[in-house]
Amino acid sequence: MINVKKVHSWSTTTFVFKIEDMNNEQMRKEIMAREKRGFGFKFDPIQGGGWQSNKDLLETGTAFSNLKKYLIRYVNEILSETYVDSATIRMINSWANISRKGEYTLPHIHEEASWSCVYYVTPTGDANLYLKDPRPLEQMDRSHHYLKDPYANVVRKRPFQTGEVILFPSWLEHGVGTNVSDSTRISIAANFLIEE
């Protein structure tokens, strides 16, 4: 056997990074106040429950101005390696999510966006973000059972800590597992659009 090369085709890239020195407690209080004032909506329990703010979160209030600035800066730094120099990378919307005990988020994608990110105001605990493998169902090929590293269609990510961010393609189906703890889980999501 000569010159065997292993090639990974069509991989799906995600990025994880941390933003230091954010006032997460101030953001937590502001998000809880917005929920109390009705600046958003509650999902039906059959859809997982939980609350989501209006989609202009990072455009409003000084509590979020630093986070918006850093997300735009870091996402541009990361993605500028991928796109042509003339491409623009801009944030098009942002919102907060609150998940209490027994609540979850059904699998979904973010339409009309190129990339999405989630910033964790609180730790995720057991209510982890999960990403669905975009490959065909594993049942299509019975031999996957014999792989040394078999795949499944749901890829669970590790728990995230306060201040961590995950950036992923908006077409990648994802959801959030059930919050089984008494802790309130709070995150901020944002969508980015790539244009020229």
- In the predicted structure, residue 152 carries a pLDDT above the cut 70: no
CATH number of 15-41+48-195: 2.60.120.620
Pair 91, 68: CB distance under 8 Å:
yes
The band of 139, judged by pLDDT with boundaries at 50, 70 and 90, is: low
For the chain, the domains span 15-41+48-195
Predicted confidence (pLDDT) per residue in 34-87, tens digit: 999 999 999 999 999 999 999 999 998 788 999 999 999 999 999 999 999 999
Are 175 and 97 spatial neighbours (Cβ–Cβ below 8 Å)?
A: no
For the entire predicted model, the pTM comes to 0.91
User: Predicted confidence band at 153 (pLDDT cuts at 50, 70, 90)?
Assistant: low
The predicted-structure confidence for 21-34, as pLDDT tens digits, reads as follows 999 999 999 999 99
pLDDT mean across residues, the chain: 91
- pLDDT, tens digit (0-9, with 9 covering 90-100), for 107-123: 999 999 999 999 999 99
* Residue 187 pLDDT greater than 70, yes or no: yes
